Structure 1
């Protein structure tokens, strides 16, 4: 019969720490609207088309969940999944995937990180960030080289920069 007393003491302790943490009970965050995410993806796709490339473009939200996926008619079969993985990777590591790729090649980062699920250490993924706030990631795949993918991803970011800067 002493368990109820222990449980009551634990609940009392939790209650007092919960009262002290009232300010931490609710988290507020900023996120991209679907319209802005779509605008970024469309601008990236247009840049790649203008450059003569058929690609896939993905935008993931701040939690790594796909928000927009655009795949051009003749983009390669793995392009959509790779673009999503590049966006997820940029978001997860809060860095351009071209920088991550270089870090792995030079040995500054453990190569095993490239084996994590949904991770693509290939150029073409960028972080979507404004005012120090992480908003998501954009990834492009299908151009002949990650450097060309990254140019298109940057065009996507540039298209929305004035709408997300705060």
Structure 2
């Protein structure tokens, strides 16, 4: 029987390397995230959309982890609107669902437990920001329009303004 120790060592090293590489890949998470500039751009576009309809609102954008990236409050928006817009955006990211849908589900009793989560605010106006491949980038929340549906419409206008930047 002929032995090739150097070949065996090379094979063992290669096998060990691939196991190490696989373990390293399992230990590291990579994800896409909005830049602060794009978050501000979306918030400003949403604010302008609401202004065009005559609404004084606050707009918040959070990243995929629910961390606040920006908040803009129009000059006559109520004092509660910055916190409310943030909570709507946070709720959308946390439950990976637009808050208008969560409001409908929780009113019907299907997702009533959401209303017991301390930060959750299942009222219309929180809309997910998704990349072109469908991955979560964050959410935008609006507060101050007369209805949750109107808040959500303004949020979508903010997302549409940055849509070309999300296709990657």
- TM bin, normalised by shorter chain, reads 0.7 to 0.9
Could you give the per-residue CA deviations for residues 60-104 of structure 1, whole angstroms, max 9, x where no partner exists?
Answer: 011100001000111111100000000011111111100000001
Q: Which residue of 2 aligns with 1:39?
A: 41
Q: Quote the offset at 1:23 in angstroms.
A: 1.6
For 2:59 and 2:123, the matched residues in 1 are separated by 14
Normalised by the length of structure 1, the TM-score is 0.85
Shift of residue 19 of structure 1?
7.7
Aligned to 1:105: 107
2:22 and 2:98 mapped to 1: Cα distance? 39
- SS where residue 21 of structure 1 aligns? helix
Any stretches of 5+ residues in structure 1 without a counterpart? Answer: 1-16
1:75 aligns with 2:77: yes
Whole-angstrom distance in 1 between the partners of 2:81 and 2:20: 47
Looking at structure 1, the residues matched to 64 and 26 of structure 2 have their Cα atoms a distance apart, in angstroms, of: 20
Partners of 1:43 and 1:19 lie apart in 2 by 43
Instruction: Give the root-mean-square deviation of aligned CA atoms.
Output: 1.4
Q: Which residue of 2 aligns with 1:10?
A: none
Name structure 2 gaps, 5 residues minimum: 1-18
Quote the Cα distance in structure 2 between the aligned partners of 1:85 and 1:52.
23
The structure having more radius of gyration, on CA atoms, is 2
Pairs aligned (count): 149
